[in-house]
Amino acid sequence: MRAPGTAAAPLLEVQGLTKRFGGLVAAKNITFQVRPGEILGLIGPNGSGKSTVMQLIMGLHRPNAGSVHIAGVDVAGWPPHRIARQGVGIVFQHSRPLHRQTVLENIMLGLLPDNLLKVITNRHVHDKARQIAERVGLGGVLNRKPSSLAFADLRRMELAKAIARDPLVVLVDEPFAGLTSGEVAAFSRLIAEFRRDGRAVLLVDHNVKSIAALADRIFAMYLGERIAEGTAEEVTGDPTVRRVYLGGGIDVASRPARTARSTPLLEIQDVSVLYGKAQALDRVAIHVDEGEFVSIVGLNGAGKTTLFNAISGLVPYSGRISWNGSDLRGRSPAAIARGGIVQCPETRELFGDMSVRENLDLAGQHLAAAQAAQQLKWLFDLFPRLRDRERQIARTLSGGEQQMLAIARSLMMRPKLLILDEPTLGLAPLILEQISNALEQLRSNTPITVLLGEQNVTFALPHADRIYVLEHARIVWEGAPSRFAAEAAATYL
């Protein structure tokens, strides 16, 4: 047991850490310290660079600049295995256990020496592994295969492996993703114990809320840069953070009440999706009426993308998804897309080596030539930027332009229902403005129905007729935008 206390010298010290991937700056001059027995929360939306920072500390990438000190030793640029031996343990979000070995053997793996001559396991490795297993609450399943474990237990196993070597610094990636509230509590307790052991803990997550209870301090990132640092309250209060997550003040312009049709265009009834052991969607039920603009807000990892992929037939699901009253099950993703449900995915999925025009033409292949030409003209009016960039190779476009292209390409298919997944991901406010306007035009000038998934509420709200809030794989709130601020916003950040 190391003596806790903030006086002690920091175990983990990150100094001006910078990493560039080609043109993109994933982490820019990041500096923070974690002392023994301290828990630091590193938060930021997707693409904010928080994961990169974690990987840099672990040595999975080599930083362009800056230093990483573990207990005073600069390990920047070391290979991962040496950094690990220096005293860093990591809990990956997605575990890849040895499926043919038992839980105990998997944990033992973490205890083995990096030595070719150690062909026989000695007694105390067994005992140590048992102890650790007991400690993380795996005592009962020691001799089972990982494949037979519950998701939470798999996470426990990862935790056990990470702390097997009794590391000074523990990195945890999205500690609570995919866990039920009960399990979350249990995990919090485990992580809290690290504080008692005097380890330095770095929790990496999307938002403050999930780790506020646990973290002593929060370090918030956006677009590779530090935007705020301090206690959970301070950070949640921080205007920049609020702008990043919620945008500015929430606009609650009320909309004329719509007359809902008898049969909705898209109806989803208790749809559940499992990723291996992880519950990605839990009995979700939503409906979208003809011509309606529905926003699903929720943090990254809440399950929005999974829901959309289920609709597009890309992931297996239980439950029923019906389109114009007919069940979508059994139709190929392509058929669904041709049927009028077009998804514009979070990852954009552009044809990087093709020009803007080629990307659009591909989508237009289903239309008659005349139609396609007309549609193209309309899209170029909607996104004038794209007309200027017509011949440019998609890969070389700016993030915002790529997003416009992605949306335009989906519209090129003349969808009845357009699914927009995180169109604002990592985009600068100015671009958001333009995209926002485009959506507004869509909404007011076309009969198109839109299903928008967003974590940025200010972007999601203004256009929406109805809002669903998705949290931990469940729909937790449904209602008109006007009521969101009052009922949901508070719990949101």
Partner 1 sequence: MLAVQILIDGFAISALYGLGAVGFTLMFGVSGVLNLAHGATMVVAAVAAWVVAGQLAASPWMAAVAGTAAGVITAFATYFLVVRPIQRSKSVPAAEKEIFVLTGTLLWGIMIQETVAYFYTDNPKSVQPLIAGVMQIGGVRTPINELLIAVICWAVIGLLWLLVHRSKAGKVLLAASINPRALTLLGFELSRVYLSVWAIYGVLAGIAGVLLATFLGASSAQASQLTASAFSIVVLGGLGSVAGSLLAAYVVGYLETLTAYLISPTYRSMPALVLLVIVLYVRPRGLLGRR
Partner 2 sequence: MVASRQLWIAFFGLAVLLTLPLWVSAYVLGVLTIAYYFGVFAMSWDLLFGFANEVNFGPTFLIGSGAYAAGLLNAHGVPLWLCLIAGAAAALLGGVVLAVPALRLTGPYFGLSTLVAVLLLQQFIIVFAGSTGGEIGLTMNDILSTEAITNYWYALAFMTVSGAILFALSRSPVGLILQASGQDRFGASALGFNVVKHKLAAFCISAVFSGLAGAMLVFYLGTASVGTVVDVSVGVQVIIAAVLGGRRTIVGAGIGAIFLILAGEALRPLGQLSTFVVSGVALLVILFSVDGLMGLLQRRRDES
The residue ranges that bind partner 1 (CB under 8 A) are 312, 314, 332-335, 337-338, 342-343, 345, 349-354, 358, 361-363, 365-366, 409-410, 413
Min separation Cβ 130 and partner 2, Å: 16
Residue with tokens 């935008």: 481
Please give the structure tokens belonging to residue 145: 């295969």
Task: Report the partner that residue 20 touches, choosing among partner 2, partner 1, none (CB closer than 5 to 8 A by kind).
Answer: none
Find the helix or strand (DSSP H, E) in which 262 lies. none
Q: How far is CA 109 from CA 88, 158, 205, in A?
A: 16, 11, 27
Task: Report the partner that residue 84 touches, choosing among partner 1, partner 2, none (CB closer than 5 to 8 A by kind).
Answer: partner 2
Q: How far apart, in whole angstroms, are the C-alpha atoms of residue 4 and residue 360?
A: 59
112 contacts partner 2 (rule: CB under 8 A): yes
Which CB, 205 or 346, lies closer to partner 1?
A: 346
User: Segment near partner 2 (CB under 8 A), from 11-19, 87-95, 291-299, 390-398?
Assistant: 87-95
Residue with tokens 């993308």: 305
Task: Report the partner that residue 342 touches, choosing among partner 2, partner 1, none (CB closer than 5 to 8 A by kind).
Answer: partner 1
Task: Report the partner that residue 334 touches, choosing among partner 1, partner 2, none (CB closer than 5 to 8 A by kind).
Answer: partner 1
Min separation Cβ 90 and partner 2, Å: 5
119 contacts partner 2 (rule: CB under 8 A): yes
Min separation Cβ 121 and partner 2, Å: 5
User: Segment near partner 2 (CB under 8 A), from 101-109, 227-235, 361-369, 435-443?
Assistant: 101-109
Min separation Cβ 353 and partner 1, Å: 5
Task: Report the partner that residue 453 touches, choosing among partner 1, partner 2, none (CB closer than 5 to 8 A by kind).
Answer: none
User: Segment near partner 2 (CB under 8 A), from 89-97, 183-191, 272-280, 390-398?
Assistant: 89-97
With beta carbons less than 8 A apart as the criterion, state whether 358 and 351 touch. Answer: yes
Please give the structure tokens belonging to residue 384: 């004038």
Task: Report the partner that residue 361 touches, choosing among partner 1, partner 2, none (CB closer than 5 to 8 A by kind).
Answer: partner 1
Q: How far apart, in whole angstroms, are the C-alpha atoms of residue 439 and residue 407?
A: 10
Find the helix or strand (DSSP H, E) in which 267 lies. strand 266-275
Report the site for partner 2 in 178-207 (rule: CB under 8 A): none
Q: What is the number of alpha carbons within 13 Å of residue 153 lying toward its C-beta?
A: 20
Min separation Cβ 175 and partner 2, Å: 16
What is the 3 state secondary structure string of 177-235? CCCCHHHHHHHHHHHHHHHHHCCEEEEEECCHHHHHCCCCEEEEEECCEEEEEECHHHH
Q: How far apart, in whole angstroms, are the C-alpha atoms of residue 268 and residue 60?
A: 41
85 contacts partner 2 (rule: CB under 8 A): yes
Task: Report the partner that residue 116 touches, choosing among partner 2, partner 1, none (CB closer than 5 to 8 A by kind).
Answer: partner 2
Sheet of 39-43, strands arranged across: 88-91, 169-173, 200-205, 39-43, 217-222, 225-230
Query: What interhelical angle do 399-412 and 429-445 show, nearest 10?
Result: 20
391 contacts partner 2 (rule: CB under 8 A): no
Which CB, 171 or 299, lies closer to partner 2?
A: 171
124 contacts partner 2 (rule: CB under 8 A): no
Q: How far apart, in whole angstroms, are the C-alpha atoms of residue 399 and residue 345?
A: 14
118 contacts partner 2 (rule: CB under 8 A): yes
90 contacts partner 2 (rule: CB under 8 A): yes
Task: Report the partner that residue 105 touches, choosing among partner 2, partner 1, none (CB closer than 5 to 8 A by kind).
Answer: partner 2
- The Cβ of residue 486 has, within 10 Å, a number of other Cβ atoms equal to 10
Residue among 317, 387, 392 at smallest CA distance from 352: 392
Q: How far apart, in whole angstroms, are the C-alpha atoms of residue 218 and residue 35?
A: 14
With beta carbons less than 8 A apart as the criterion, state whether 202 and 233 touch. Answer: no
- How many residues bind partner 2 (CB under 8 A)? The answer is 31
Min separation Cβ 341 and partner 2, Å: 35
79 contacts partner 2 (rule: CB under 8 A): yes
With beta carbons less than 8 A apart as the criterion, state whether 11 and 34 touch. Answer: yes
Q: How far apart, in whole angstroms, are the C-alpha atoms of residue 493 and residue 486?
A: 14
Q: What is the x/- site pattern for partner 2, positions 146-185, by CB under 8 A?
A: ---------------x--xx--------------------
- Measured over the CA atoms of residue 211, residue 213, residue 215 and residue 219, the dihedral's sign is positive
Which CB, 256 or 330, lies closer to partner 1?
A: 330
Q: How many residues does the chain have?
A: 493
Task: Report the partner that residue 98 touches, choosing among partner 2, partner 1, none (CB closer than 5 to 8 A by kind).
Answer: partner 2
Q: Which residues pair with 17 in a beta bridge?
A: 30
Indicate which single residue of 81, 124, 366, 395 sits in contact with partner 2 (rule: CB under 8 A): 81
Question: What does the binding site for partner 2 look like in residue numbers (CB under 8 A)?
Answer: 58-60, 79-81, 84-85, 89-90, 92, 95-96, 98, 100-101, 105, 108-110, 112-114, 116, 118-121, 161, 164-165
